[in-house]
Each structure stands twice: as structure tokens, then as C-alpha cells.
Amino acid sequence: MYLILIVLTTATVLSGFFLYRSRSSCIKYLSSKFPLLRQTGINLLLLFLFSAASSGQAVGDFRTRTTGNWNSRSTWERLNSLPSGWAQPTSSQGYPGRYSGTGTVTIRNGHNVTLNVSPSNDIGSLEIEAGNTTNNLTFNGGYTLKVTGDVNINSTSNNVAKYIEINTGTLTCTNLSLNSINGNNNTDAYVSLTSGTLNIAGDISMNAVARRTYIYFNGNGTVNVGGTISGGNITSSSGGGSAAPTNGTVNYNNNGDQDIGTYTYWTLVISGSGTKTLQAATSLRNLEITESSVLDTRQYQITGNSSGTMTMTGGTELILGNNTSSTNILFPASFTTANINLHNNSTVIYTANTNQTVSGVPVYGNLTILPGNTAGRTRTLSANTTINGNLIIGDGTNSTSFLPRNRNITINGATIINNNGIFIDDNNSGTDIFTGQVTIAPSGQFLISSNSPTEFRGGITNNGVFTSSGSGQTSFSTNSQIINGTNTIEFNGGNINIVNNITVTNQGTVSISGSAALNGAGNNSRWLNDTNSTLSYSSTNTQQPMNTGLLTATAEGNTVSYERSGTQTVKNTTYYNLTLSGSGSKTTTGVAVNGTLSLEETATVSAAISYGPQAALQYNTSNTRTVTNNEWPATFSGTGGVRISGTLQISLNRAKVLEQNVPLIINSGASFRTANYDLTFGGSFINNGGTFNAGSSDI
């Protein structure tokens, strides 16, 4: 009695509601609004309402009167007047869709219809009616049926199947509902596809288990869905069931976000735009990501097939991992390198909130390394890897590190290390090749401490930290390139080699220390210090920089600084600014200076310096020093003058002449002593708070 009252009361309250909602919507609505009803009660209620819904019929609806072809008027009845003015359509009314204004089309119990024409006009909705006898709609001959509303297939009787069979041709609608109510596991409601196409702008809803409601691929048909798919199964087993499909394509193609239904797929296509998100671990044979779509795996693994293919077209993205989940999501498993095709402008993103393994199986387009919600997560290569596009590390939030370890890595595009991104190679095997420019943001880091080689082909911009401290060789090769940035680029390990007779132009600050040596592989290999740049050379290696090849350092404002403790050979070339510091004698045969020669600490020069017309000589030391003729000749003509800086005393070694317009400048804290030698001024004498001791000299 309780159940009957519920049915009758609910039917009365909702009678108007069902005039405007599809039967699939009814099922969803009742399941959410009446959770206390037993399933049997829901099914009885639905049967009652399916019958009651006939009161929502409208003039222009069609229903079958017998089995037949779609374009035969004898197959149909048309509702010409309410409440029950059904009659075979006239020639001016035609078959469903022949003329505009067709409403709901119902294929009634026991009737089977063949679509043998492509109706000129859309129909409103399509119903495969419930009942105790099979009824279906079959597509043959490549014909197309367009439904502006929903398609509903309803099965209620044991061993009776209700279905749409798309052998060839296309069915297009808004939503598809497959409903199996009561009966046994052979109470089937399904759509089968051989080589046809099913276009669903919205959702596919299957209300029962896989044996009863399913999409059946018995060939290479295609389902395009703009919403999601839920319930039932996708299979290639006749009669449904849980078996995976062995044919068919499912394409999530909305120009917006979509949830990927939890199924095993033969071919899964992600297209349109927006983000398509996995809801569970997913197995498939083939995977295609196309147009401008994004596939987000979240914390769910994709497993492919060694005989399957994976394709990403330009502008697409694959996100591996959830930045709030500690699951190490891998690149889609089981695909082989030969069967993976990632467009150079596609992007694979690793972003799990755990240390994550980066696959070396694919040749990447762009590879992006993002952090998790916790700082310090690492992404480590598992095999030798080629990136045809760009490598991007970090996004400016939490820190994350990319580690090639003992793998070879080649980046054919740019390498961009954003704030809090870190590139670390601390393993002693594998080669790192950077074909494009390497750019490091202010809080980014590029750290090489391995004994394996590193090769640059596109230059370096360092605004963060760049340190190469391992004993492996660094090469600049293939292309002439530029080094720049606001922060120092430090090489303090293995040698730096310029090959292929290219030019490396320094526009920033480069420091070479440790045992590293800068050299060329050919006579025309060139290191060029550009305007206002600095090259600091304090290597313990006694070999002069660019022992083979050319060192060009004449650009205005640039400085080359020799800083070794001990003897050091200065490359015999012309410098703008030349700084000699550290200790010991600097071999300066054939050296010319157009800007400033600065002698610092206890460094001395072994041979006379040739000065340009605007050159200057500077002593900048905290040690007492006596000048020599090699740096301060008897007559000094550089209009930059002689500058005395530092904190201790500089003494003449003999009489000196400063020619016309050549000043002598003594800076604060410095002391200059003539040691009783004559000093002839041709220019100004400027004392900025230093000490001048003329003794008995003639001035």
C-alpha cells in the first residue's frame, strides 16, 4: 500500500514535469529526489510515467504503424489533432523530417525501421519504445538523421532488445539515454556502430549494468560526444558485458571542458578546445589529442598498447599528475617510441605532488616541468630523451627540479628556467645538448656538477644562478651565439671549448675559475667581449684563454680580468679594459690597452704595455708597490691619465713625464710617493683626498 501511494502521489505531482523532460532526465531526477524508494518502486513509477507521458504529445509527432522504410508514408502515423488524431500522413505531410515541423518520432514496440533516406529537416526527438517485442532503427547506405533534442531507447522486458544500429551513416542528437528497466540481463538497450557515426552534443547516459546498456562497436564506427558518458559499457561483445572494445573511436570534441567517462577505449580522441579530465585510470589501444585540446590525467594513469599509436597535434597539451596528489603518474604506458608522434608544438606537462619519473620513450614536442603543491618535488629522466620543442621548468610558485641524471638529453628548442625552477645534472654520465637559448629567471637555477659533457648551440641568458662546477667539458658549437643576463655565469670545473670556428659573444659577466680553461678548436674560433661585458679569468690552468683561436676585447667598456694567484699568461691581443690581479708576474708580450689597465693586489707585468691615445693606467691595491717601466713608461701619453687608488703607497721607480692633457689622479685613501724622482705634468693634478709625497723631486 505504501509503495502504491508513493507511485500515485508522485505521478500526480510530476505529471506536468514530464511534459518537458526526456525519460533519461526523469530517471536522473527520481534517483536524486527519491533515494528512499526501492528500485522496484522506481521502475514501476517509470513504467507508469512512460505511459502517462503520452499526454505530452503534440501535433506533428510521428509514430510507426508497421515495420518499413523511413521514407515510406505507409510506415508512419502522424498526429494531426489532439488528443488522438493519428493518421497515415498525406503526401503533403510526408515522412518524418521530409518537411519542417516534425516533433517526437516514436518507433513502437515490435516495429523495425530502416533509414533509407537523409531527411531534409531535423526531427524534434526520437524514442525507441519499451515493450515485449524487439524494435529498432537501422542505418544503411550512409544516410543521415538529425535530431534537435534527445534520443531515448527504453527496454523493459526479459530477453527483448531495443536498439539503434548504425551500419553506415550518421545520427546526430543532443543527448542519448539508454534505459533498461526490470527484466533480466538480456533486457538490452544499446546503440551499435559498424562504420557509422554517432554525434552527441550533450551526454550519453546508460542507466544499467554493462550487460544491459552499452555502446556496441562491431566495426570502426565513431562516437563524437560533447558532454560525458556514464553507466553501462563500451564494448565489442554482442549482447554487451564488461569486455573491452576491439574496434571503434570515441571522440570527446566539445569546445569546452569535459569529463572523460570511465571506460576502456579502443581509440580515444580528445579534440575541440578546453580541458578533458580523466575520472579514473584508463586503458586504451590508441590515443589522439588534437586541435587545441588539453587532456588532464589528474592522479590517474593511462595505459596504452605496444601495438597502438599515440598522437598529439600542434597546440595540444597532456597534463600528467595532480599537483595535490602524491601519485607518480607516468607518461602513457606501453606505447613504443616508433608508435608515438608528438608534434613539435605539442606540450607534455609533469606536475604531480611527488617526485615524478619523466619518460624517455617519446620524442617530445614541448616538455614542461611544473611543481606540486609542496616545494622540492623532482622530475627525473628515466631514459635518453629528445625534446624537439622547448623545455620549461617551474612556474614561479613552489620549487621544482628537473634531473637528467645519467641520461642523454637534447633540447632542440629553447630551455626556459622560470622562478623557482632548477635544472640539475649531478651525474657522471650522459650528455646535455641545448640547441636553443637557455634562459634563467631571477630565482631560477642552472646547476651542472657532473663529469659529463654539456653543449650549447643557442646561447645563454642568466638572470638567476648559472654554475658549471663538474669536470665535464662545456662546448659552444654549431652556431655563433650570445651570452648575457644580469647575473654572473660561472664556469669553475671542466674546460670551455668553442668549436666549429664560431663566435661566442659575451654581453654579460662570465667567470672562469677552478681548473677550467677557455679555448677554441680552430684558428677562427672566437670569444668576443661585447660593450660593457666582463670576462673574469682566475683558472688555475696556466694556459692563456683562447690559446687556439681569437680573443676579441676591443668593444667600449668591456673588461677582461686575469685573476690567477701566480704566474699567468695574458692573451696577446688588444683590450679595452684589462685588469691584472692576484699575484705573480703576468706575461704581457704583445698586449695593448685602449681603455684602462688596472694593476691590483701584487700582480706585475712582464713586458711593456702598448697604450691607445685615450688609455689610462690605474693602480688599485692594498699592497705597497713600486711602479715599473713595463706598465708606466718614462713618458705616458694616454689622456685617461694615471690613477692612484687603493689603500697603500705607490712609489715611482724613475723620473716620469705625463704629456699634455694627461692627468694624475689620487683617490681618497691612496698614497703616491715620487721617491725623489722628477715628475713632469702636462695635464691636471687632481687630489680626491689622497696623499701626495713629492719629497725633493722637481714637480
Q: What is the residue range of 285's domain?
A: 271-452
For the stretch 581-636, pLDDT in tens is 999 999 999 999 999 999 999 999 999 999 999 999 999 999 899 999 999 999 99
Q: Is residue 416 part of a domain?
A: yes
**Rounded CA separation 633/610 (Å):** 10
Q: Is residue 339 part of a domain?
A: yes
**Rounded CA separation 699/695 (Å):** 10
How many C-beta atoms lie closer than 10 Å to residue 259's C-beta?
16
Q: Is residue 500 part of a domain?
A: no
CA distances from 391 to 347, 425, 489 (A): 10, 15, 20
Q: Are 187 and 163 in contact (CB under 8 A)?
A: no
Instruction: Please compute the mean of the pLDDT values over residues 379-394 and round it to a whole number.
Output: 98
For the stretch 624-667, pLDDT in tens is 999 999 999 999 999 999 999 999 899 999 999 999 999 999 99
**Rounded CA separation 452/430 (Å):** 6
Q: Is residue 511 part of a domain?
A: no
- E strand or H helix at 285, and its extent? strand 282-289
**Rounded CA separation 525/414 (Å):** 24
What is the arrangement of strands in the sheet containing 604-605, beginning at the earlier edge strand? 568-569, 585-587, 604-605
For the stretch 63-72, pLDDT in tens is 999 999 999 9
Q: For 453-572, where are the E strands, in sequence order?
A: 454-456, 460-462, 465-468, 474-476, 481-484, 489-491, 496-498, 503-506, 509-512, 518-520, 526-529, 534-537, 550-552, 559-562, 568-569
Q: Are 234 and 263 in contact (CB under 8 A)?
A: yes
Q: Is residue 683 part of a domain?
A: yes
Of the residues 426, 452, 478, which one is the last residue of a structural domain? 452
Total domains present in the chain: 3
Total-model pTM:
0.89
Torsion of CA 123, 128, 133, 134, to 10 degrees: 90
Task: Give the per-residue pLDDT at 41.
Answer: 43
Of the residues 452, 476, 511, which one is the last residue of a structural domain? 452
* Residue 32 CB contacts under 8 Å (≥ 6 apart), including other chains: none
Instruction: Please compute the mean of the pLDDT values over residues 216-233 and round it to a whole number.
Output: 98
Burial of 275 (0-12, 13-18, 19+ CB in 10 A): middle
Report the candidate in 181, 134, 127 with the shortest Cα–Cα distance to residue 152: 127
For the stretch 242-270, pLDDT in tens is 999 999 999 999 999 999 999 999 999 99
Block residue for cell numbers 502522424: 78
Q: For 330-437, where are the E strands, in sequence order?
A: 340-342, 347-350, 356-358, 366-369, 377-381, 385-387, 391-393, 400-403, 409-411, 415-417, 421-425, 432-434
Q: Does the pLDDT of residue 40 top 90, yes or no?
A: no
Task: Give the per-residue pLDDT at 356.
Answer: 98
Q: Is residue 15 part of a domain?
A: yes
For the stretch 527-583, pLDDT in tens is 999 999 999 999 999 899 999 999 999 999 999 999 999 999 999 999 999 999 999
Q: Is residue 427 part of a domain?
A: yes
Q: Which one-letter amino acid corresponds to residue 475?
A: S
Q: Are 257 and 295 in contact (CB under 8 A)?
A: no
**Rounded CA separation 320/306 (Å):** 20
SS3 668: coil
Beta bridge partners, 288, equal 269, 311
Of the residues 400, 417, 452, which one is the last residue of a structural domain? 452
For the stretch 123-175, pLDDT in tens is 999 999 999 999 999 999 999 999 999 999 999 999 999 999 999 999 999 99
**Rounded CA separation 668/645 (Å):** 7
Helix axes 2-14, 39-52, angle to 10 degrees: 40
Q: Is residue 625 part of a domain?
A: yes
Grid coordinates given for 345: 608544438
Task: Give the per-residue pLDDT at 28.
Answer: 44
For the stretch 404-459, pLDDT in tens is 989 999 999 999 999 999 999 998 889 999 999 999 999 999 999 989 999 999 99
